[in-house]
Chain A
Amino acid sequence: MTMIEAPTTAHGRPVDPYRLGRTDLATGHGEAGPASERVIIAFGFWIFLLSDIVMFSAFFAAHAVLQTATDNGPTGRELFDPSRVAIETGCLLASSFTCGLSAVATNARNLFWTQAALLVTGLLGLAFLGLEAHEFSGMIANGVGPDRSAFLSSFFALVGLHGAHVGVGLLWLGTMMAQLFVKGFGSILYRLICFNLFWHVLDIIWVAIFTVVYLIGEGR
């Protein structure tokens, strides 16, 4: 059994047998082999967040199309309460800050301060949700629910979608705090990173909602 040596150049590289101008000099990137688990998880979660942002952008687009379709019903200016929205925004921004603090505490592997920061984050999130629920229920009680006009449909859907994300985030947060309490950092370090990303993205989306829905809506 004989083996045929591959023809090679002086540098020990195979020559270009079909003269296509291709040698194996193309190195590209990513030679180092599979990335670490931490990188893979965080990267995958980022891709998920990007897809989530795409979904939000569809609702933003719908709101942009429908914001004048009030069907002779009330407009944003008549409905929105700027002071409540300001408090909501304050809660959410503060919760993002405390969420960042929890990451600092996690990096220092300080269980107590991690839990404390997460708890404050959760409470601020809860306050935000409460205010939003109050706004929604008040509007629906006054007969200006999502079925009143296309404008209100898009308003309730967009803001509600964000609220639903905050709600799911709170469930996730609660689960993780329970896990931290029972098991310590152990297996959930990466999830804490992902939660941080998630919470900050929700904040960014809220800033967009604040601007597009409330500020611009207020000006109409």
Chain B
Amino acid sequence: MKFLGNLSWDAIPWNSPLPLIAGGGVIAICIAIAAWIVLAGHLPYLWKEWITSVDHKRIGVMYILLGLVMTLRGFADAILMRTHQAYAYRADGYLPPEHFDQIFTSHGTIMIFFGAMPLMIGLMNFVIPLQLGVRDVAFPTWNSTSLWLTAAGALLVNISLVVGVFSRAGWLPYPPLSELEFSPDVGVDYYLWALLISGVGTLVTGINFVTTILKMRAPGMGYLRMSMYCWTALASNLLIVAAFPILTATLVMLTLDRYLGFHFFTAAGGGNMMMFINLIWAWGHPEVYILVLPAFGIFSEIISTFSNKPLFGYRSMVIATLGICIISFLVWLHHFFTMGAGGTVNAAFGIATSVIAVVTGVKVFNWLFTMYGGRIHYKTPMLWALGFLVTFVIGGMTGVLLAVPPADFLLHNSLFLVAHFHNTIIGGVVFGAFAGIAYWFPKAFGFRLHEGWGVAAFWFTIAAFYAVFIPLYMVGLLGMPRRMQHYDMEMWRPFILAAMVGIFLFGVALICQVIQLVVSIRQRERLRDETGDPWSGRSLEWATPSPPPIFNFAVQPTVYGEEPYWELKRRAIASQQNEGRYEAIKLPRNNATGFVTGFFASVIGFAMVWKIWWLAILGLVAAYAVFVWYAWRDIPEEKISAEEVARIDRAHRKSRAEWLARHSEKGNMA
């Protein structure tokens, strides 16, 4: 037996320069950043205050950071694919097939699991406990563990760039292609271990948030007084709890096939490939709603706030959210109408799919009626919301078209399908993440983002989106399949070129976002949020200072209506003058359990990919040791004294009162 399993120097792609240079660059940047952190003496701070933090706000920020970095990585893949196809007309392009296939696989995998999911989970982490009026999530240490397990998965995918290869079987590894017989290298194994590990993290997040939302709310906050975002987050996390175990089970079966010669999905031995397709989509369709439901919630908050009106049809919104939650489990077959289920079955699933569009339509009309008659402020978050409304409706309608089985037979696996899901995921989830970041940034960091650059980023993104995906819709209608390494149909060419122009517009939008961040940080004094309520918000997170103290609320708020903070402000005298009684607050201690677990998970994953058995066993034993150590601790909490709480809260009240005095003086002069 070899000491390092299958790992050898040949695993490093010495003779293909692209991944080597890219990987080398990334490693160099990481080393540079790490060196700067250590040399500048930031390591203790980073370790104590961030890496080991169990504070939901910090965990949320780290999730968002992870999501942004990985989205950037996925975007690099997108540039490669678009430019490659522009060259690949009656030619080979510049990416050999085995490399092109890795790129579309890693693009999809990264964007869904390590881009969109961390962005949505990060925003939920930051906002939900604040909106519920509580001090943290139900299980703070598990929350940190979720983060680091997700990061471990992301790390494995990135390691595959330089050590070995990544999967070439698509973002959902359909057998038999993904079986050992046809994918003998480590690519699919990287995919499997990355997703098995991060999947556990996501599941724990789901459990954590379901428990938090159902069992931890400020006094007076009945179910029908929760913000819309809390409702959609609840639905999304219920879907995680119900769907992610199916993903884990399916991937475990494929892993057993590949590692121990099982016959779940193999062609030989009586295996059943269609079972994989069914199982993976029984998770996969709920997954798209896991992603988009929180975005719906974000838009609900934003549209109501910037229209200066309560959300229209709150109860119908709640019903629609839960409706989507249930129906999303009844439509999975629309992803494989063409795979022989027969007319009757196809018809049933086609109709069920269209029903989802009806329920989603309820939401769209509620948003429109929220704006109707409101005083609308066109700030960046609101622009994203409006962009979302228009764009997402188009995506929904192409979805309904695909839900008609005869039409789907023509469009399945064409670029039309690719345009459909990018339309819903970019127009819904990504716009939602950007809107949420712009909206809650001042809450997280104490200053607003620069408006002008935000508006520029928005318009470039919109332009880029349509420039890329309208051509892809059209070329899909002309019959171009997805994932083509080269092609020789002349009539497809112009559309592919147009889409390439679009991807560069995306690049411009990205630069605008970076500039926005830099400019905002430099002008932070001017953009400072002194009141904690920069947008005239309506839910409880705006009752805290920006950034909120570690304990969120100095005094546990009591809720009297559907829009708790609006209510508080209307009873403004109470909120300005009565301090309430400060008490000492107990908070969970920061601890390294999450980080260490993530570390050992990465080690185990890597060892399993390369079949270094002793290392995998070592990792497992170490993980068990961490578990015992964690279980053995005596004082899991620390106390913040009543005086400290009072000091922080009084400072906030003072700053808010000063702001109010300044602004009412101005008002009097006018």
Contact = CB atoms under 8 A, between A and B. Distances in A.
B634 interface: yes
A157 B270 contact: no
A157 B217 contact: no
A39 B215 contact: yes
Contact of B624 (A33, A58, A171): A171
A51 B260 contact: no
A65 B272 contact: yes
Given A65-B272, A66-B272, A58 B250 contact: yes
Interface of B: 134, 138-139, 203, 206-208, 210-211, 214-225, 241-242, 244-246, 248-250, 252-253, 256-257, 260-264, 266, 268-272, 275, 279, 309-310, 312-314, 373, 556, 560-562, 567, 570-573, 576, 624, 627-628, 631-632, 634, 660-661, 664
Contacts, number: 173
Interface stretch (A42-50, A113-121, A209-217): A42-50
A70 B244 contact: no
Interface residues of A, number: 57
Contacts of B139: 44
B272 A150 contact: yes
Interface string A56-81: 00110110011001110000000000
Contacts of B661: 1
A180 to B, nearest CB: 12
B225 A26 contact: yes
A62 B138 CA distance: 34
A148 interface: yes
A150 B215 CA distance: 43
Nearest to B210: A47
B219 A44 contact: no
A55 B246 CA distance: 6
A71 B269 contact: yes
Given A28-B225, A179-B632, A153 B269 contact: yes
A44 B208 contact: yes
27 contacts: A1-B661, A6-B570, A14-B570, A18-B309, A20-B310, A22-B562, A26-B222, A26-B562, A27-B222, A33-B218, A43-B211, A47-B206, A47-B211, A48-B207, A55-B249, A62-B249, A66-B270, A69-B269, A71-B269, A71-B270, A146-B263, A147-B260, A147-B261, A157-B253, A157-B262, A176-B631, A179-B631
Nearest to B573: A3
A199 B391 CA distance: 50
A18 B262 contact: no
B281 to A, nearest CB: 13
Contacts of A151: 270
B206 A14 contact: no
A141 interface: no
Q: Which of B262, B313, B373 has the most CB of A within 10 A?
A: B262
Interface string A14-55: 100010101010111111111100011001100110111011
B246 A58 contact: yes
Given A1-B661, A65-B272, A157 B224 contact: no
A149 B245 contact: no
A70 B271 CA distance: 10
A154 B264 contact: yes
A146 B262 CA distance: 6
Contact of B256 (A4, A33, A148, A153): A153
